[in-house]
Amino acid sequence: MSERNTVIRSLHDLGLAAWFGGSLMGAVGLNGAAREEGGTEATRDRISSAGWAKWTPVNAAAIGAHLFGGGGLLAANASRVATQRGVTASTTAKTVVTAAALAATAYARVLGKKVELASSTDPADAEKAGKHPIDVDKARRQLAYAQWAVPALTGCLVVLNALHGEQQRPAEQVPGMWERARSAAHLAW
């Protein structure tokens, strides 16, 4: 139980930190600055879209690091997940919330790209937008919700990580495994 997983834990935690922090800063700082400095809605959209476009590759790398690290931690702790009471439930919850955060991130990017194309001054973008017309006001509203869903969901992941950390304490592991074994034995009789 003293086996170290520093690299995969670091990838997991740093990836999540960047995903959470970047999405929160974008929703608060970038979008807020675009609202204050943009003037027209189209200009605000262009400012915000430019910032989010610069963040996208970093965010993708952060999400990839988080997922790779999470997979590594799951493999390293598979026996504890299977035998320690409460760990399966928290791991399942974390998986579901991760999937929701991924979906919200992807949906926000799709909406953001639509708003970006609709507000672009580039003739090629205007042509693309013309081929796929959208209700820009509706897309902006949905984007605002999606951009706030990402830090909310990734914040939940930070809390679930804290729970997993607590569950790894030796004082939690032995009683948790004993209780799980006792419950399984009781079901066998």
44-53, 104-113, 123-132: which has the minimum mean pLDDT? 123-132
* Sequence-distant (≥ 6) Cβ neighbours of residue 156 within 8 angstroms: 97
Domain total for the chain? 1
Higher local confidence (pLDDT), 79 or 124:
79
Percentage of the chain lying above the pLDDT 90 cut: 62
How confident is the model over 53-62, as a mean pLDDT?
97
pLDDT per residue as tens digits for the range 144-155:
999 999 999 999
pLDDT per residue as tens digits for the range 1-17:
447 899 999 999 999 99
How confident is the model over 115-124, as a mean pLDDT?
81
Please enumerate, as own/partner, the contacts of 107-110 that have beta carbons within 8 Å and a separation of 24 or more: 107/142, 107/146, 108/143, 108/146, 108/147, 108/149, 108/150, 109/52, 109/56
- pLDDT score of 151: 98
Residue 132 lies in a domain: yes
- pLDDT score of 121: 75
Residue 189 lies in a domain: no
pTM given for the model: 0.83
Residue 171 lies in a domain: yes
pLDDT-derived band of residue 120, with 50, 70 and 90 as boundaries?
Answer: confident
Instruction: Give the CA-trace dihedral at 61, 53, 48, 154, to 10 degrees.
Output: -20
Residue 187 lies in a domain: no
Residue 35 lies in a domain: yes
14-18, 77-81, 99-103: which has the minimum mean pLDDT? 77-81
Average of per-residue pLDDT values in the chain: 88
Domain span at residue 120 reads 6-180
Percentage of the chain lying above the pLDDT 70 cut: 85
Residue 1 lies in a domain: no
